Amino acid sequence: MFWNTKNAGKMLSAAVIGFSAILAPVISSSVFAQETAATFDWTREDVSKIKMNEENTAPVINKEELEELSEDFLVWDTWPLQDRNGHPAVVNGHKVIFALTVPSDVIPGKRHDTAEIRYFYAKDGKSWQLGGRLFDDGKALGSRQWAGSAMIDKDGKVHIFYTATGRKNEKKLTYEQRLATATADIITTNASVAFKN
């Protein structure tokens, strides 16, 4: 999904309101709510009274101000390597992000048909260098990979979770999805990051 910046604030506000409405029965029946005797009733009238402001509206994203990670690839759905507490990990001074990618000549509507996970690294969290594909040819499950997450353990082992979509060598593209996991060793030098095993 590409982000429509014109309606981003309205979409975020609607999502928050909708999420609050879904959670209201859960919250009101929880132990927390019972202890505080709180209940939540959202009506259309209540929602219509909400005024958009800087505190409840996502900022406008100016496409011209975005920095391109790679001229060779379309890059979307990006996530950081995290530690066990959910904080962005720093490995020997490097921050690492993973992203879904396709070659830049693929038309946007076809990007999900051949998506692969690539990784980028930077010491400053801004000057990202392309590390390469996360999986060697044929090593990932499915005919392509979709979004996931990654965590590094105290022993340095990286645990990767991703959506394996389709089946290897399928003649007709399918959209069967499974959650998959892999582990790897992260190898760093002062100037590079790589994954092995």
Q: Using an 8 Å Cβ cutoff, are 146 and 115 in contact?
A: yes
d(CA 183, CA 134): 11
Residue listed under structure tokens 């260098």: 129
Are 132 and 72 within one domain?
yes
Are 74 and 46 within one domain?
no
Are β-strands 95-103 and 177-188 bridged in parallel, bridged antiparallel, or unpaired? unpaired
Are 107 and 179 within one domain?
yes
Terminal alpha carbon distance of the chain: 33
> What are residue 184's DSSP bridge partners?
158
Q: Using an 8 Å Cβ cutoff, are 100 and 94 in contact?
A: no
CB hemisphere CA count around 172 (13 angstroms): 0
The boundaries of the domain holding residue 166 are 67-196
pLDDT in tens, 157-177: 999 999 999 999 999 999 999
pLDDT in tens, 135-157: 988 899 999 999 999 999 989 99
**Which of 12-21, 105-114, 134-143 has the lowest average pLDDT?**
12-21
Are 118 and 141 within one domain?
yes
| pTM for this model (two decimals) | 0.70
